[in-house]
Structure 1
Amino acid sequence: MSIIEKPLQLQHLSLKNRIIRSAVHSFLADTDGCMTDAEYDMYETLAKNGVGTIITGHCCVDPLGRANPEQVNIYADVFTAQFRRAAELVHAYDVRFIPQLNHAGPRAIDNDDLVDVVARPLKKERHARELTVEEIHHIEECFIDAAKRVKDAGCDGVQLHAAHSYLLSRFIDPLFNQRTDEYGGSIENRFRMTEEIVRGIKAACGEDFPVLLKVNVDTKADDAEGYHEDMVYLLHRAKEIGVELVEFSGADFINQPKTATLYYLPQILRLKKEVPDMPLSLVGGVRSLEDMEKVVSSGIDCVSLGRALIAEPDFVKKALAGGGKSICVSCSRCFVLPHMHPGIRCIWIWKKERARQKKAAAQS
């Protein structure tokens, strides 16, 4: 048995193995924010093929914070049933199903009143105003209400998206947060909004309802060492308030060399050494069974996969059977391809489909 196949008991969550499907936007929901059959099929395919925990693509908790036109919504009760159906599908394979909750902040679409941690100019001559404290509290309640809905749907927990320059990430990162009130300045203050959401979810859903975080392990600000110390504080504090697991990504994953693997492992190992009792997972540049085993054998509790599972939903099963490296080459066309060819995210899948279409046309 590979080390990645070993079960893991977190505080309130039992995982059948160490493999997490990291949240990636599927581009498969309809424009009303509802999952389609293609989305359900995707989750079931992942569950059949060796993934132990599925974290959904980011789900919208506030209609004013929607990031994509085909994003799954969870900001009203009418959206709850779809999560029940998805959870039941993957539970049949003893797989955990954890929706990721998100607010896009100034990256929101269809919103002329854009908000950010502080007022700032945006691209395309747009402008975001500073959130008031009252609005911060309202958004916190949106996250908490969303968590209650997915708990009612039978999901196994939630993950808060505090990475990739969405709203919670922007509060944590000093590059974006120049507030001078209780939500800015020190890392204690910059983490306050996320902490208040975690505490609110625990109060509303029970202390045993799992809450996970996704956070950037790095920043594009100049003070890398200062940000590392911020993450040490964040991990200690996350443990104190009952966070189940912290998944680390990075601010620059999309710009990594195509040949690079395990981009963030050195930083995460350093953090694990300083905060050993906080369960962690790494996502970024995981391309083979060797990579997965290296992460877990080094002491990181889980390993998360994103683009490799976009390219090959059965990658874990094939890797464990000696299938070699992922076909993913980190080209990141999966972020643009669905806009040109709806329903297709990977360039390799598109090439196969194009070849099939050409063959069919030639035979007709």
Structure 2
Amino acid sequence: MSSVESPLQLPHLKLKNRIIRSATHSFLPSEDGRMTDAEYAMYETLAKNDVGLIITGHCCVDPLGRANKQQVNIYDDSYIDQFKKAAELVHAHGAAFVPQISHAGPRAIGVDDLADVTARDLKKNRHARELSVDEIHRIVSHFVLAAARLKYAGVDGVQLHAAHSYLLSRFFDPTFNERTDAYGGSAENRFRIVREIIEGIHAKCGDAFPVLVKINLDTKHDDHAGYHDAMIYMLREFHRLGVSLVELSGVDFINQPKDATLYYLEEGKALKAAVPEQPMSLVGGVRSLADMETVLAAGFDMVSLSRALIAEPDFVPKELAGGDKSICISCCRCFVLPEMHKGMRCVWQWKKARAAAKAAEKINRDGSVSLSLRERWRA
């Protein structure tokens, strides 16, 4: 049996294996912030295919912090029931279901008055002002209330999205955080907003409700050594606060060479070695069973997959049965393809659908069958 198949008991969270579907925006939800049948089907398919822990795409906690049109919302009670349905579908196959909750900060859409950790000019001739302390407190409350709604929905915990330049990660990172008040400067101050969110969730939902966090293990700031030291401080704080799992990612995964694998492993190993008591997972360039086993052998408690599961939802059983590495070629078309062809999440899926559509058109020309365009794409 592979090491990835062994069960795991995290603080307040029991899992059937060591495999995580890392939070991945699917482009499948509706524009009113609700899961569609395609979204439900995606989660159920992942659960059927040996993924032990499914983390949703980022869910919006605040109407002023929505990242894109096709994003699931959880900023009021009307959005609760969809999470109940998704959790039930996943639980039926023995997997755990954890929504990721997020605020887009200055990356928000549909907002004229953009705000960031520190005032700055943005792309496309836009500007963000600095968040006030009162606004920071309101954002903390939005995260806490979202977690409470999700606990009511019967999910297995929440993950705070503190990576990839979304708002919480910008507090951590001196690239963005130049504040001089209680939320800037020292590692302790830069960590303050996340500490307040975690403490608020525990106060509202109980200490036994699992809280997970996703963070960048690196920075584009010149002070890499300082950021490393700050990460060690934050990881120790996560452990003190009872965080069930920290998932380590990075700032530049899109720009990695197409043949690169495990590109965050060395820095991740150093952080795990420094804070071994904190359960951690690693995401980034995991493309084979050997990669998954390498991550666990490095001391990580779990291993996280993203694009490999977009390309092949059955990637895990295929690998466990002796399959070759993932068909994913790290082309990153999964970030743009769904905007061009709704429901298509991978270039390989699109090519397969296009071939099926052409075959259907040929049959139709022969007078054998007539298919609608929708049916051709789904063939």
Q: C-alpha displacement at 1:11, in angstroms?
A: 1.1
How far does the alpha carbon of each residue in 1:340-361 deviate from its partner, in whole angstroms, 9 at most, with x for none?
0011110000000000001101
Q: Deviations over 1:36-64 (max 9, x none)?
A: 00000000000000100000000000000
Consecutive unaligned residues of structure 2, counting only runs of 5 or more, are: 365-379
Looking at structure 2, the residues matched to 15 and 265 of structure 1 have their Cα atoms a distance apart, in angstroms, of 23
SS at match of 1:134: helix
Which residue type is aligned with residue 308 of structure 2?
A: A
User: In structure 1, what is the Cα distance between the partners aligned to 2:207 and 2:71?
Assistant: 29
Alignment-derived partner of residue 135 in structure 1? 135
Q: Which residue in 2 is equivalent to 1:206?
A: 206
Deviation at residue 272 of structure 1 after TM alignment: 1.0
User: Which secondary structure state, in structure 2, belongs to the residue aligned with residue 191 of structure 1?
Assistant: helix
CA displacement 1:80-120 (0-9 Å, x = unmatched): 00000000000011100000000000000001011100111
Is 1:275 the counterpart of 2:275? The answer is yes
What residue in structure 1 maps to residue 305 of structure 2?
305
Aligned mates of 1:143, 1:22 — CA distance in 2: 20
Give the equivalent residue in structure 2 for 1:289: 289
Q: Any residues of structure 2 matched to 1:51-90 within 5 Å, and which? A: 51-90=51-90
Q: How far 1:323 moved relative to its partner?
A: 1.1
Report the Cα distance in structure 1 between the residues aligned to 2:11 and 2:347, rounded to whole angstroms: 39
* Alpha-carbon distance in 1 for matches of 2:43, 2:259: 28
Q: 2-side partners of 1:300 and 1:225: how far apart? A: 22
Distance (Å, rounded) in 2 between the aligned partners of 1:203 and 1:92: 30
Report the TM-score when normalising by structure 1: 1.00
Residues 309-364 of structure 1: CA deviation (Å, up to 9, x unaligned): 00000100100011110000111010000010011110000000000001101110
Question: Any idea what SS the aligned residue of 1:247 has?
Answer: strand
What is the alpha-carbon distance in structure 2 between the residues aligned to residue 315 and residue 45 of structure 1? 11
Instruction: Return the alpha-carbon distance in structure 2 between the equivalents of residues 11 and 101 of structure 1.
Output: 20
User: Match of 2:243?
Assistant: 243
Deviations 1:234-260 (A, max 9, x none): 100000011111000000010000111
Q: Which residue of 2 aligns with 1:24?
A: 24
The alpha-carbon deviation at position 148 of structure 1 amounts to: 0.3
Distance (whole Å) between structure 2 residues aligned to residue 87 and residue 14 of structure 1: 15
Once the two structures are superposed, residues 163-212 of structure 1 have per-residue CA deviations (whole angstroms, 9 ceiling, x without a partner) of 00000000000100000000000010001001100000000000000000
- Report the equivalent of 2:358: 358
SS at match of 1:54: strand
Q: Following TM superposition, by how much is the alpha carbon of 1:9 offset from its aligned partner in structure 2, in angstroms? A: 0.6
Distance 2:168 2:357 in 1: 43
Structure 2 counterpart of 1:139, one-letter code: I
Give the Cα separation in 2 of the matches to 1:261 and 1:3: 19
Matches of 1:199 and 1:270, distance apart in 2 = 27
The CA distance in 2 between the partners of 1:168 and 1:299, in whole Å, is 27
TM, length-normalised to structure 2: 0.96
Name the counterpart of 1:322.
322
- Could you tell me how far apart the structure 2 residues matched to 1:106 and 1:2 are? 43
1:186 paired to 2:186: yes
Alignment partner, residue 219 of structure 2: 219
What are the residue-to-residue correspondences of 1:132-171 with 2, within 5 Å? 132-171=132-171
Measure, in 1, the Cα distance between the counterparts of 2:21 and 2:335: 17
Aligned partners of 1:11 and 1:307: how far apart in 2? 27
Return the alpha-carbon distance in structure 2 between the equivalents of residues 136 and 211 of structure 1. Answer: 20
* Counterpart-to-counterpart distance in 1, 2:251 and 2:294: 22
Partner Cα separation in structure 2 for residue 18 and residue 297 of structure 1 = 12
Task: Please name the residue that 1:46 is paired with.
Answer: 46
Query: Match for residue 92 of structure 1?
Result: 92
Greater Rg, structure 1 or structure 2? 2
Q: Which runs of 5+ in 1 are unaligned?
A: none
Superposition RMSD in Å: 0.5
State how far apart, in whole Å, the 1-side matches of 2:87 and 2:222 are: 42
Provide the C-alpha distance between the structure 2 equivalents of 1:57 and 1:9, rounded to a whole number of angstroms: 24
Map of 1:339 onto structure 2: 339
Measure the CA separation in 1 of the matches of 2:335 and 2:65: 19
The residue matched to 1:82 in structure 2 has which SS? helix
Q: Name segments (4+ residues, structure 1) moved above 6 Å.
A: none
Query: Number of residues paired by the alignment?
Result: 364
**What is the identity, as a one-letter code, of the residue corresponding to 1:190?**
R
